[in-house]
């Protein structure tokens, strides 16, 4: 990598979806290294709680209530970050909504909201951040996708499409920007406990995911973010049992792979869709 000018001191980290769940746990883990944070989420009250926690750990924090589906708000978010800290070293596109429902029953408004929040918002925010990183000669872009982006789940058509889009977006950015010291990593968690929508799905359905489908924890996702900042791998898939061999098998034997994935997941996802869980 050429042109890299990583600062010697703490990094300035912009995190969307920072007010709860995975975003909050990521921030709390990174705050132990006393980085500087720009926190973005829709709820000002929840952001204030996270800000207080990070400040108690010794971190410097700027909270900016932001709806990532609003293009104007994204531009103002980046301006506020640069005005306060002078740079943005790490962008973590974590904001997202999940929806599991029969595709034919999804309202158009929910389809648009999912795309705007999960994909369009991340792309537009990155578009505003890249010139800042380019002027520094250094940057880390971390996009929170999902194993749903590696194989679109039944009853999760729009959600899977947005996460697949994030994977392709990350790959394209990496190829284009890495010569300038700006690397991109996509993280693909499975169903995530202690901070993900999975916990609510379990409460609603009374069932956990099948053993073969597995999942991960929010703490593991936070550790993967830290790894992405320091080592910038192209992709991190987080799940136990490991799903990468399943995806390889599917690529070699498409029909058999599809049947295996459907056999493992369909019953659980259909039940989740019937309960209409989405956030």
Residues labelled catalytic? 159
Peptide bond into 130 cis (omega under 30): no
Please name the residue that has the structure tokens 């202690």: 194
C-alpha to C-alpha distance for 36 and 75, rounded to whole angstroms: 20
């Amino acid at each position: 990598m050429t042109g890299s000018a990583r600062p010697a001191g703490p990094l300035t980290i912009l995190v969307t979806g920072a007010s709860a769940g995975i975003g909050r746990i990521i921030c709390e883990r990174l705050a132990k290294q006393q980085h500087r944070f720009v926190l973005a989420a829709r709820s000002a009250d929840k952001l204030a709680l996270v800000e207080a926690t990070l400040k108690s750990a010794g971190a410097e924090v700027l909270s900016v209530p932001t709806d990532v589906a609003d293009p104007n708000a994204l531009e103002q978010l980046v301006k506020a970050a640069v005005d306060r800290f002078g740079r943005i070293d790490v962008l973590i596109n974590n904001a997202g909504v999940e929806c599991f429902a029969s595709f034919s029953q999804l309202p158009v408004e929910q389809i648009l909201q999912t795309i705007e929040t999960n994909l369009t918002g991340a792309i537009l925010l990155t578009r505003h951040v890249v010139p800042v990183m380019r002027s520094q000669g250094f940057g880390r872009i971390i996009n929170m996708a999902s194993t749903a982006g590696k194989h679109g789940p039944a009853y999760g058509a729009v959600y899977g499409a947005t996460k697949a889009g994030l994977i392709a977006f990350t790959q394209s950015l990496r190829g284009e920007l890495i010569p300038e010291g700006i690397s991109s990593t996509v993280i693909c968690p499975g169903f995530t406990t202690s901070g993900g929508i999975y916990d609510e799905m379990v409460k609603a359905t009374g069932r956990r995911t099948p053993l073969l489908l597995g999942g991960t924890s929010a703490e593991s996702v936070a550790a993967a973010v830290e790894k992405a900042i320091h080592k910038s791998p192209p992709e991190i898939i987080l799940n136990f049992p490991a799903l990468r061999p399943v995806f390889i098998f599917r690529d070699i034997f498409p029909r058999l792979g599809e049947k295996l994935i459907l056999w493992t997941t369909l019953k659980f996802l259909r039940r989740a869709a019937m309960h209409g869980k989405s956030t």
